[in-house]
Structure 1
Amino acid sequence: MSEFTVTGRFQSRDGYAEFETSIDAENENVAREHTYAQLGSQHGLKRTQIELEEVDEQ
């Protein structure tokens, strides 16, 4: 497993909020899916409300 840093933004009441999170995943696609699931459950968002800008492996 590798560690990925995912950056992007999501819709909030005041417009868009930026985020950066670290995810342990097998590959870049799995890191993207975990990020969608994590932000969706924490903030009650749908995938269309989340914009992933960059996924970097560390």
Structure 2
Amino acid sequence: MNFIVKGIFRAGEKWERFTKNVTSMSKTNASDRVYSLIGSEHGLKRNLIKIESIEEVKE
């Protein structure tokens, strides 16, 4: 299944918005995948990443 995950992450002193498309078996796995991707790209821990919504893409 494909999911669109939207949220914000801490970039210096301000918060930046993000939207990620991920392939996963469930919403929980999709959120874990986004934490991993954003964390590795920006060197952030999970407490500096806030997921606001996870939507399954209907094809």
Residue number in structure 2 paired with 1:37? 36
- Residue identity over aligned pairs, in percent, reads 30
* Cα distance per residue 1:1-58 (max 9 Å; x no partner): x000000000011400000010000000000000000000000000000000000001
- Work out the number of aligned pairs and report it: 57
Query: What root-mean-square deviation, in Å, do the aligned CA atoms of Structure 1 and Structure 2 show?
Result: 0.6
Structure 2 segments unaligned to the other structure (5+ residues):
none
Structure 1 segments unaligned to the other structure (5+ residues):
none
- In structure 2, the residue corresponding to 1:31 is in which secondary structure? helix
Are 1:19 and 2:18 an aligned pair?
A: yes
Tell me the amino acid that sits aligned with residue 45 of structure 1: L
- In structure 2, the residue corresponding to 1:9 is in which secondary structure? strand
Given the two structures, how large is their TM-score scaled by the length of structure 1? 0.96
| Cα distance between partner residues in 2 of 1:7 and 1:22 | 9
Given the two structures, how large is their TM-score scaled by the length of structure 2? 0.94
